[in-house]
Amino acid sequence: MTYWLNPIFYEFIKFRVLLFIKGFKRVQQNKIFIGSILFASFFLQCYECSDEYFGIPILLNGKKEREIMKSGLSKALVTGGAGFIGSHLVDTLVKEGCDVVVLDDLSAGSLSNLKHVKDKITFYKGNIQDQKILMKAAENCEVIFHQAALVSVTKTVDNPVDSAFINDLGTLLVLDAGRKNKVKRVVFASSSAVYGDDPLLPKHESMQPKPMSPYAVQKLTGELYAHIYYDLYGIETVCLRYFNVYGPRQDASSPYSGVISIFMAKAVSKKPSLIYGDGKQYRDFVFVKDVVKANLLAATAEDAAGQTFNIGTGKHVSINTLWDMICLLSGLNIKPEYAPPRPGDIIESVASIEQAKSALGFKPDYSFEKGLEITFKWYKDSRK
């Protein structure tokens, strides 16, 4: 509240002095002053009720009112901030007026994801295993959003050791940089992969994890480190178990990419998709903007520290249905091709988001249809 209150009263005082100089009598000055206060209080009441502030941009300390932060974060580090999820998070933090630092080695992310905010952030090109650069990037940060990871399950099956350096050691180093820099909170991007193939559905945070791939083991290890850092060092850590995240900017160029990005690219180029297994396996697909929302809630919710939350939608879609929906969106009628199931692949995955709802106030804003439509438009436009 003080963000806007102080400058407004400052303006009033200036206004009164101006009236005095212009020769207005004291009674006239008071009438104008009271009138101004009544107008301002009406305006500010409207402001309190609206996110959009009636579209009126007010300049305060050189920033537009719209840019004043809602989550209230002063400075944040986003590891993997040039990547798919990280760059969307950076966008929102920048919009909210947060001072954003990005650390990314550009192995999977791309500077093109940040081109529209490049003058508003501090960017470090580097690896999370490089302690020197990590310490520098975390300096004076209130929160670290740890998104950097090797995200392909299949890649970790092929390279269990190399991926552990990034996903395990990297996470430990990020937590430690947070500890040494006295960062208040670290939000860790974990994965629903930790549940494995437990037939109990929906997946609930209290279930015993059953990792089926090095990737899942690595994410679970990251969670355990996060809990230990909270217990031993008091650094507030929150783990978010992402279900299948999709949306604009997800890289579709590798066979290891997320299924929606691959299918979108196929549809745009009018080629058939390749489905591993019978296509009846299903996932809880969550739109990237909802994942950003979950991160901001996790960074600020009072009782979240030391906890782990599922971030999904609570709904599921099979891979066969997914291709049908994309065909419908793109006006195609192409039958998919089928290949044997991938090793380490989970069959059924759907989240219970009750815990995130009650502790964080998390509720997804995007239906699957809406998210898919936005995503398809992005892939179509970026091909032009």
Number of H helices, E strands in the chain: 13, 15
Q: Of 163, 244, 308, 313, which lies in the binding site for ligand UD1, with binding defined by CB under 6 A?
A: 244
Give 87: exposed, middle or buried? Use CB within 10 Å, 0-12, 13-18, 19+.
buried
Give 86: exposed, middle or buried? Use CB within 10 Å, 0-12, 13-18, 19+.
buried
From 102-110, 124-132, 189-197, 302-310, give the range in contact with ligand UD1 by CB under 6 A.
189-197
Report the nearest approach of ligand UD1 to the CB of residue 377 (Å): 20
CB atoms within 10 A of CB 274: 14
> Is 10 annotated as catalytic?
no
Give the nearer residue to ligand UD1 in terms of CB position, either 342 or 357.
342
Give the nearer residue to ligand UD1 in terms of CB position, either 262 or 296.
262
The Cα–Cα gap between 31 and 37 comes to 10
- 34-42, long-range: CB < 8 A, 24+ apart: 36/12, 37/12, 40/8, 40/12
From 41-49, 107-115, 242-250, 355-363, give the range in contact with ligand UD1 by CB under 6 A.
242-250
Q: Of 78, 259, 286, 353, which lies in the binding site for ligand UD1, with binding defined by CB under 6 A?
A: 259
Q: What are φ and ψ of residue 61, in 5° steps?
A: 45, 40
152 near ligand UD1, judged by CB under 6 A: yes
Among 53, 195, 215, 379, the active-site one is 215
The encoded tokens of residue 343 equal 């090793």
167 near ligand UD1, judged by CB under 6 A: no
From 102-110, 185-193, 353-361, 365-373, give the range in contact with ligand UD1 by CB under 6 A.
185-193
Q: How far apart are the first and last CA of the chain?
A: 45
Give the nearer residue to ligand UD1 in terms of CB position, either 72 or 160.
160
Report the nearest approach of ligand UD1 to the CB of residue 275 (Å): 4
Helix axes 131-138, 170-180, angle to 10 degrees: 50
The encoded tokens of residue 211 equal 């990792």
Report the nearest approach of ligand UD1 to the CB of residue 136 (Å): 28
The residue type found at 63 is: K
Contact between 79 and 145 under an 8 Å Cβ cutoff? The reply is: yes
Binding mask 105-144 for ligand UD1 (x = CB under 6 A): ----------------------------------------
The Cα–Cα gap between 349 and 240 comes to 16
Q: Which of residues 283-342 bind ligand UD1 (CB under 6 A)?
A: 283, 319, 342
352 near ligand UD1, judged by CB under 6 A: no
Give the nearer residue to ligand UD1 in terms of CB position, either 157 or 329.
157
Give the nearer residue to ligand UD1 in terms of CB position, either 237 or 349.
349
Query: How does DSSP assign 62-74, residue by residue?
Result: TEEGGGS-SS---
From 88-96, 136-144, 151-159, 221-229, give the range in contact with ligand UD1 by CB under 6 A.
151-159
262 near ligand UD1, judged by CB under 6 A: yes
The residue type found at 330 is: S
Using CB under 6 A as the binding criterion, the count of chain residues that bind ligand UD1 stands at 23
The Cα–Cα gap between 343 and 273 comes to 19
Binding mask 33-72 for ligand UD1 (x = CB under 6 A): ----------------------------------------
193 near ligand UD1, judged by CB under 6 A: yes
Give the nearer residue to ligand UD1 in terms of CB position, either 247 or 258.
258
Give the nearer residue to ligand UD1 in terms of CB position, either 229 or 243.
243
Instruction: Collapse the DSSP code of 278 into the 3-class scheme (helix H, G, I; strand E, B; otherwise coil) and give the result.
Output: coil
The Cα–Cα gap between 195 and 191 comes to 9
Q: What are φ and ψ of residue 236, in 5° steps?
A: -70, 115
The Cα–Cα gap between 84 and 95 comes to 17
Residue nearest to ligand UD1 (CB): 191
Q: Of 274, 325, 334, 359, which lies in the binding site for ligand UD1, with binding defined by CB under 6 A?
A: 274
204 near ligand UD1, judged by CB under 6 A: no
**Closest to 179 in 3D by CA, of 144, 133, 224:** 144
- Residues annotated as catalytic (active site), given as ranges: 215
Residue ranges binding ligand UD1 (CB under 6 A): 151-153, 191-193, 242-244, 256-259, 262, 274-276, 281, 283, 319, 342, 345, 349
